[in-house]
């Protein structure tokens, strides 16, 4: 079976199209594109093109207005999902928003996620600087130095919850490493 005939065989009937249009606001982009969240860009592209073939508005020109409107709504959402998932940064923001229960990445949600990420990375230049130094030491396996840098970062941003959580995690790792070495 060729790709085109396979797509044609998966064409939905009008009842299924109307049903999908009714529940589309309850589907995340992955479910809409029938895609695993860990899918790579090649798999995403294939899923998008498959979905677009199934819901291309030109294929439904002879259908009643109600069906054409439903197909148009579905096609727009498929494109919206593809445009978000193909962009690495927007996809990361979407994945973060998805864990918070947002099924679509609207500009408002995207701005909210960006603000949250920026707060996690630090809101002051010195906070970000010492966080970066902490991460470099952590990658080298120098946990005491990483903890020291993070404590310095916290002096610049004492209310940064992400810094405090990371400090707790690093201190637990250091404690576990000391216990294991005894």
- Give pLDDT tens digits along the chain (182 positions): 334 444 444 667 889 999 999 999 999 999 999 999 999 999 999 999 999 999 998 989 899 999 999 999 999 999 999 999 999 989 988 998 898 889 999 888 888 888 888 888 899 999 999 999 999 999 999 999 999 999 999 999 999 999 999 999 999 999 999 998 87
Give the pTM. Answer: 0.65
CB-side neighbour CA atoms (13 Å) of 93: 23
CA distance 16 to 108: 31
- Locate 132 and state its tokens: 């970066």
- Locate 86 and state its tokens: 């193909």
- Kindly report the backbone phi and psi dihedral angles of residue 102, in degrees, each rounded to the nearest multiple of 5, phi listed first: -85, 120
- Kindly report the backbone phi and psi dihedral angles of residue 55, in degrees, each rounded to the nearest multiple of 5, phi listed first: -120, 30
């Amino acid at each position: 079976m060729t790709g085109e005939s396979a797509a044609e065989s998966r064409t939905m009937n009008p009842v299924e199209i109307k049903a999908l249009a009714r529940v589309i606001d309850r589907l995340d982009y992955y479910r809409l594109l029938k895609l695993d969240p860990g899918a790579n860009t090649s798999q995403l592209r294939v899923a998008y093109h498959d979905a677009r073939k199934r819901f291309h508005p030109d294929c439904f020109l002879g259908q009643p207005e109600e069906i054409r409107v439903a197909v148009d709504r579905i096609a727009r959402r498929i494109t919206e999902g593809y445009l978000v998932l193909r962009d690495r940064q927007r996809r990361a923001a979407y994945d973060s928003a998805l864990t918070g229960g947002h099924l679509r990445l609207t500009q408002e949600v995207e701005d909210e996620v960006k603000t949250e990420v920026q707060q996690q990375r630090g809101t002051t230049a010195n906070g970000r600087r010492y966080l970066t130094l902490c991460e470099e030491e952590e990658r080298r396996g120098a946990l005491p130095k990483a903890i020291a840098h993070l404590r310095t970062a916290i002096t610049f941003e004492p209310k940064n919850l992400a810094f405090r959580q990371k400090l707790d995690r690093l201190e637990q790792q250091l404690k576990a490493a000391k216990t294991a070495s005894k």
